[in-house]
Structure 1
Amino acid sequence: METKRFKKAVSAEAFVFLIFLAIIFGGIGMKMGGANMMQTMMATAYELLIDTVFNIMAIAVIAGALSGALSEFGVIALLNKAITPLMKPLYNLPGAASVGIMTTYLSDNPAILGLAEDRNFRRYFKKFQLPALTNLGTAFGMGLIVTTFMLGINAPGENLGMAVLIGNIAAIIGSIVSVRIMTTFTKKEYGTESYCIEEENGESADDILNKREIRNGGVGGRLLEALLDGGKNGVEVGMAIIPGVLVICTIVMMLTNGPSADGTYTGAAYEGVALLPWIGEKLEFILKPLFGFTSASAVAVPITALGAAGAAIGLVPEMVSAGTAHANDIAVFTAMCMCWSGYLSTHVGMMSALKVPHLTGKAIISHTIGGLCAGVAANLIFQLVSMVL
């Protein structure tokens, strides 16, 4: 049980916080107009709830149902045995984590939470490993969508196939960096010995790893019950991420996007002050050598990916057609959009769903470094392959 903490009813932090709010929202309000700012904030939150949260919940329900069936009939146990020799040296995670990679690559970041709710999945993880699932799942979230979208861009004379492949490889490198950094934090929190499923009823640690609990009844009944229980876990996950997605993603979107198409503010959803892209342009002298961007405007793609990968990849076709992005940029875009995939808008909710909200800051720091490493790796690998070919 956590110890309660107390402070004086009125302290300096109350005034500091008020000043901070006045600077942030006062600045946005001066740019957009106070009424437009409030309308955009509410409209963006509503659109995120309808278009994003319910979509994530649907993904989590299907992923949870699938994971329930996979665990009930021993597929996760099989993968744990077969892939641990690969996952252990790369990620310091059990082989069962590979199921999370597959589900998030085919869908989105929170799909891994449906797995994490399943007892037969959690049993393979030590306590320090479970929070790192947020970083692992996010690094592969929307992977298939990002990959197919980039491959479908019309870029005559550009070898996009090689660029996208390099981007996927770089995203894997970024995921390893992110998970490894995260587990250095969680080891200090939980140690390295305790499993998520504690030894109980005479069950030893060996039993936890080499036996699995199954439901009563015949095969058909077990399958149906596993699917429904897994889907129910997905609903709970979807509800748990609502506050994080609505609050964090609304702020990120307003700091990332600009005014409407005609340059005015109307109070519509997803308008903003474009602060993050502006910061990116000021840091071009650092970012261009690291990522090899053809144009300073390319910085907007990974910065937008902080909040939403879908919005980020939507910027790419216009850049390619305008000649401000080429195959080398596509490799970096693929790596960073896939590795980051809107982690600022999902990490809070995902860590809360895993019941470790106090580690959210460490997860974000780890994943920020991992995504940057993915982008640098994509640039370096692309340059090396281009020299060889």
Structure 2
Amino acid sequence: MEKKKVKAVSTETFVFLAVLILVFGYIGRIMGVGPMFKTMMATAHDLLLQTVFLIMALAVLAGALSALLSEFGVIALINKIFAPIMKPVYGLPGASITGAVATYLSDNPAIISFAKDKSFTQYFKKYQTPALCNLGTAFGMGLIVTTFMMAQGKEYMLPALIGNLGAIIGSVISVRLMLMQTKKYYGDAAMDSVGDAADVSEGEFREVREGNLFQRVLDAMLEGGKLGVDMGMAIIPGVLIVCTGVMMLTFGPSADGTYTGAAYEGVKLLPLLGEKIKFIIEPLFGFKSPEAIAFPITSLGAVGAAMSLVPEFIKNGVVTPNDIAVFTAMGMCWSGYLSTHIGMMDALDARPLASKAIVSHTIGGLCAGVAAHLIFMLVG
């Protein structure tokens, strides 16, 4: 991104210092300065080893699959089949359904591997590409979240499926809101096609690699996997910086109530804020217990961590089948987007639009929860 020259020291310098001191002072006062920095380092290190490399592995596999689907015309076929649905509903080409399926089976960033493939992006206009971040995130870890909720008991199978429907509704809202922002951002260039492959008669033809069948399969997988590696490297800064902050604002001290400097300790600010606005959230989602608010709040940073709350909730009788439907919808639609959106927008070369994507997806996730609650009331 190009930089511009501004005055070396200005008002924003002092505002930034004030905010920085306020944030670190607040966290340090609660945790202690030493444990605060130890937790920051430990959390970032654990995220790198346990999250980033896992995402990179998923991206390599998804990249290989994407390249194979492109090489043998599957994406072109999917585009033709689903275009009548995806275009009027989401405002995206039919090929985008491929990325949604990939993220449902794996995690949010899997869609980036498709977005780096020219045979995939040839169907997109310039303003549509950044919205892939919102589409992919809305289905991230969908299969894992759904099966996890179903595994909690047979009475939760239908609510989990209702949650999927709620997540789909939320994804449409998120993507549509994002497209409104990208059209404004790109202006006259919004309708430009993406990549050189867009000149191939609107997808009526496709480029294939040279060689026999075995060579084409091998080259496609290796080249697609390499894109996954590149994507995994691109998301490291966003995941480590943003996710570390979110984790420290979401979770609390160790089991004995002290701060040891271990990974994932924090000041529990986000749950506290959620408690303050429960008079708004509970009627919208149908929650019967205030503890249920912890799930959507935690899903902002990590849906895996949010899922770990569910068995204890069920054991203590603080959640209902309606809550499971809402949990599934919001967990699947949000799926830790605060910790992945920055990195994903970086990988899509659309970092200036990251804040727009986050706001759009926040609204989409809320709508997903409300929709799941309303649908459950109608079905029940």
Q: Which residue of structure 1 lines up, in the alignment, with residue 253 of structure 2?
A: 259
Q: Quick one: which of 354, 365, 368 aligns to 2:362?
A: 368
Give the TM-score normalised by the residue count of structure 1.
0.95
CA shift digits 1:14-38 (9 cap, x unpaired) = 1111110111110000000000000
Matches within 5 A, 1:75-224: 75-154=74-153, 159-190=155-186, 191=188, 192-198=190-196, 204=199, 207-224=201-218
Give the TM-score normalised by the residue count of structure 2.
0.98
Q: Could you say what secondary structure the match of 2:130 adopts?
A: helix
Q: Which residue of structure 1 lines up, in the alignment, with residue 13 of structure 2?
A: 14
Shift of 1:171: 0.1
Task: Work out the CA distance in 2 between the residues paired with 1:102 and 1:9.
Answer: 48
Q: Could you say what secondary structure the match of 1:130 adopts?
A: coil
Task: Work out the CA distance in 1 between the residues paired with 2:178 and 2:107.
Answer: 20
Task: Work out the CA distance in 1 between the residues paired with 2:323 and 2:345.
Answer: 31
The runs of 5 or more residues in structure 2 that have no matched partner are none
Q: Which residue of structure 1 lines up, in the alignment, with residue 73 of structure 2?
A: 74
Task: Work out the CA distance in 2 between the residues paired with 1:153 and 1:262.
Answer: 28
- Specify the code of the residue in structure 1 equivalent to 2:194: C
- Specify the code of the residue in structure 2 equivalent to 1:305: S
The reply to whether residue 290 of structure 1 matches residue 284 of structure 2 is yes
Task: Work out the CA distance in 1 between the residues paired with 2:106 and 2:39.
Answer: 28
Task: Work out the CA distance in 1 between the residues paired with 2:29 and 2:151.
Answer: 40
Shift of 1:120: 0.3
CA shift digits 1:134-190 (9 cap, x unpaired) = 000000000000001111114xxx721110011000000000000000001111223
CA shift digits 1:287-341 (9 cap, x unpaired) = 0000111211111100100000100111111011101111010000000000000
Shift of 1:75: 0.3
Q: Which residue of structure 1 lines up, in the alignment, with residue 372 of structure 2?
A: 378
Shift of 1:383: 1.0
Shift of 1:384: 1.3
Shift of 1:210: 1.1
Q: Could you say what secondary structure the match of 2:124 adopts?
A: coil
Task: Work out the CA distance in 1 between the residues paired with 2:289 and 2:358.
Answer: 27
The reply to whether residue 229 of structure 1 matches residue 229 of structure 2 is no
Size of the alignment, in residue pairs?
A: 378
Instruction: State the superposition RMSD in angstroms.
Output: 1.2
- Specify the code of the residue in structure 1 equivalent to 2:74: V
CA shift digits 1:236-256 (9 cap, x unpaired) = 000000000000000000000
Q: Which residue of structure 2 lines up, in the alignment, with residue 43 of structure 1?
A: 42
Task: Work out the CA distance in 1 between the residues paired with 2:68 and 2:307.
Answer: 33
Task: Work out the CA distance in 1 between the residues paired with 2:258 and 2:101.
Answer: 42
- Specify the code of the residue in structure 2 equivalent to 1:127: K
Task: Work out the CA distance in 2 between the residues paired with 1:259 and 1:122.
Answer: 45
Task: Work out the CA distance in 1 between the residues paired with 2:245 and 2:2.
Answer: 31
Task: Work out the CA distance in 2 between the residues paired with 1:358 and 1:50.
Answer: 28
Shift of 1:4: 4.0
- Specify the code of the residue in structure 2 equivalent to 1:36: P
Task: Work out the CA distance in 1 between the residues paired with 2:337 and 2:134.
Answer: 9
Shift of 1:193: 2.5
Matches within 5 A, 1:343-354: 343-354=337-348
Shift of 1:268: 0.3
The reply to whether residue 53 of structure 1 matches residue 49 of structure 2 is no
Shift of 1:198: 4.2
Q: Could you say what secondary structure the match of 1:269 adopts?
A: coil
Q: Could you say what secondary structure the match of 2:370 adopts?
A: helix
Shift of 1:208: 3.9
Task: Work out the CA distance in 1 between the residues paired with 2:202 and 2:84.
Answer: 18
Q: Could you say what secondary structure the match of 1:159 adopts?
A: helix
**Paired-residue identity, %:** 62
- Specify the code of the residue in structure 1 equivalent to 2:156: L
CA shift digits 1:97-153 (9 cap, x unpaired) = 010111000000000001111110011111111100000000000000000111111
